[in-house]
């Protein structure tokens, strides 16, 4: 799972244009949205696309996203349990 977490951090930095941020700057348990990394609703949709494109998971209800995208930790767990790619 460590490899997956690193991969996720890299993808998030690239896809969400988090310039000046490196993989080391994002802790596994950091809150991604609002007060944490400050991601917003469009970023949430972008993460849904990543889930589909890179891991074959289709999330049709963006409300489920809240729990799944809480942190790198929760994302990695969900992907490990549900990935088809």
Give residues in contact with other proteins (CB under 8 A): 15-20, 38, 40-43, 45-46, 48-49, 52-53, 60, 62
Provide, rounded to whole angstroms, the least separation between the CB of residue 70 and other proteins.
19
Nearer to other proteins, 24 or 42 (CB): 42
CB 62 within 8 A of CB 45: yes
Structure tokens at 5: 């977490």
Q: Is the dihedral of CA 38, 6, 13, 80 positive or negative?
A: negative
Nearest CB to other proteins, comparing residues 2 and 34: 34
- Shortest Cβ distance from residue 2 to other proteins (Å)? 26
> Which residues lie below 8 Å from residue 67, measured CB to CB, with a gap of 6+?
74
């Amino acid at each position: 799972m460590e490899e997956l977490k690193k991969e996720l951090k890299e993808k998030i930095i690239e896809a969400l244009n988090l310039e000046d941020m490196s993989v080391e700057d994002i802790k596994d348990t950091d809150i991604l949205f609002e007060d944490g990394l400050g991601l917003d609703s469009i970023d949430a949709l972008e993460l849904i696309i990543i889930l589909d494109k890179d891991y074959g998971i289709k999330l049709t209800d963006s409300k489920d996203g809240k729990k799944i995208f809480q942190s790198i930790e929760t994302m990695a767990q969900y992907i490990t349990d549900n990935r088809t790619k």
